[in-house]
Structure 1
């Protein structure tokens, strides 16, 4: 197998490692291993075996270090396989970032020594995106940054790594929510229709472009919408927007049953991975910010995951209310902690 550079973040402190073992936290698998002095084995954090006494455990960064210290792999949880999976994804990400063209799935899988169909599932589980989706998001991020630096749109397109303007415009529609020229000009000319709808948690603003919903927020109106989109054409609702607004209102009353609604929200590759991870949390369940960062493919980026939650512009539809602090407290919520508590209670049927 091709040699892979280790990109995994440093091992957490011992208390965090111990708590991860007690919780059998799958999000921590691959970040370190726990070594049991009385049995001579090492395990991944989510291992289902009976927990040893705390004084009999030590924590090491990976299976290589554990074997060097004289421990052998647990036959129940197979910790070596977890480390190999994470390293494979890290190597694929590095290859995607370095490539001028989006690598084919077969080439990525061969590079890390996996079957293509298996690696496709593995990559998406680790990052929240498919390899092709990750590569497209990365190019869109670069295009967004290049457009913000001034200069010509054509130069920005090629600087971002696109081989043709048509591909840039297609990706921009998907990831920026508007064409490159509109993005560069602050969204000028983009039509956004809006209305507010009453719910038991207060009025909700619902706004959408022709592509999909671009803002769902509690307690806002036209003035706030114009502040968020100062150069867009703000228009009254039509029948399509009315239907989406009613679906959003129903979602507020029953957040455990999300409708299939189109979305038009621009974000970086990591933000999109965080938002995808949020939507993957089953209704009625919660995660910590650390678990969310791990699910988005960057276990060390806990603070950035919190910022991505704060940048969420689609309340309830992208359920950032399902994220709690590590101590189980509610933490923050852009639209008020009482609403956050109410949404969680409704999902749990309380």
Structure 2
């Protein structure tokens, strides 16, 4: 068996151990027969996450499934491997973005105000929590837009505000409309995702208007040069059209790649930004 294959097998074994329990980096390295530093570096290169980040996201995924199934919050926390509720949203490798009780079953207890407005890019559903805008969905079918919101937060307290006419939603809707029109706008956002997704989304928001980056360049910018596929996945998981500018990420050969809201929309926005 060649050396490269042996290394892959050891890394796959390490991932299996992380899926089955919570070994420390030292124990994990000793079990698979690598030094801790070598395992840390090679695991990140292969899977786009450090062992600690992989474990944290696995635990977070387990928690999300349990909460969405309606399980008791405390039981779900401890079953997922969290020692206390605060561990979910302390500084760490993965966070919910809202408390477990509010995320439970799709945002139960979370108050989300939303509206659908005509914008420069067509109809847009804009939804916001008390912390900031959590969803900007584009599309021509208002019912489909609303269905996407319900899919993401099926048990949140969703309040539709016609034409965004209230003191809370109106200024946020106005800022989003400006952003969709290609104007400079300050849009407060509530990014709900894993630590890796947020890291990618933060990197996207640093790409200057009129410029693009390849998926590989974004991976390099966040310090995980081999996480190209994970970066593409994070872009696909973005729910904040234009404001989190995943449209500015293209393939290494210069082709557009994919886009949640369709390639014609991506091409249109990129052309507009380049011209500006």
TM-score normalised by structure 1 residue count: 0.55
1:242 corresponds to: 170
Higher helix proportion, which one?
A: 2
Contact 2:95-2:195 within 8 A present in 1 as well: no
2:98 corresponds to: 178
Shift of 1:205: 1.0
Q: What is the correspondence of 1:247-266 to structure 2 with a 5 Å cutoff?
A: 247-254=175-182, 257-259=184-186, 261-266=187-192
TM-aligned CA distance change 1:229 to 1:155, over 3 Å: closer
Q: Over residues 123-158 of structure 1, what are the superposed CA-to-partner deviations in whole Å (9 max), with x where a residue is unaligned?
A: xxxxxxxxxxxx899757634534535875445545
* Counterpart-to-counterpart distance in 1, 2:111 and 2:54: 24
TM-aligned CA distance change 1:171 to 1:156, over 3 Å: farther
Contact 2:88-2:96 within 8 A present in 1 as well: no
* Counterpart-to-counterpart distance in 1, 2:240 and 2:106: 20
2:198 corresponds to: 272
Contact 2:102-2:110 within 8 A present in 1 as well: yes
Q: CA RMSD in A?
A: 3.7
Structure 1: which 4+ aligned runs deviate by more than 6 Å?
135-138
* Counterpart-to-counterpart distance in 2, 1:346 and 1:264: 26
Q: How many equivalent pairs are there?
A: 226
SS at match of 1:271: helix
Contact 1:148-1:184 within 8 A present in 2 as well: no
TM-aligned CA distance change 1:203 to 1:272, over 3 Å: same
Show structure 1 runs of 5+ residues with no match.
Answer: 1-8, 11-96, 100-111, 113-134
Contact 1:143-1:157 within 8 A present in 2 as well: no
Higher relative contact order (CA 8 A, sep 6+): 2
2:117 corresponds to: 197
TM-aligned CA distance change 1:186 to 1:200, over 3 Å: closer
SS at match of 1:204: strand
Contact 1:192-1:234 within 8 A present in 2 as well: yes
Show structure 2 runs of 5+ residues with no match.
Answer: 1-6, 9-22, 26-36, 38-51
User: Which structure has the greater CA radius of gyration?
Assistant: 1
SS at match of 1:182: helix
* Counterpart-to-counterpart distance in 2, 1:223 and 1:155: 30
* Counterpart-to-counterpart distance in 2, 1:243 and 1:303: 36
Match status 1:345 vs 2:271:
yes
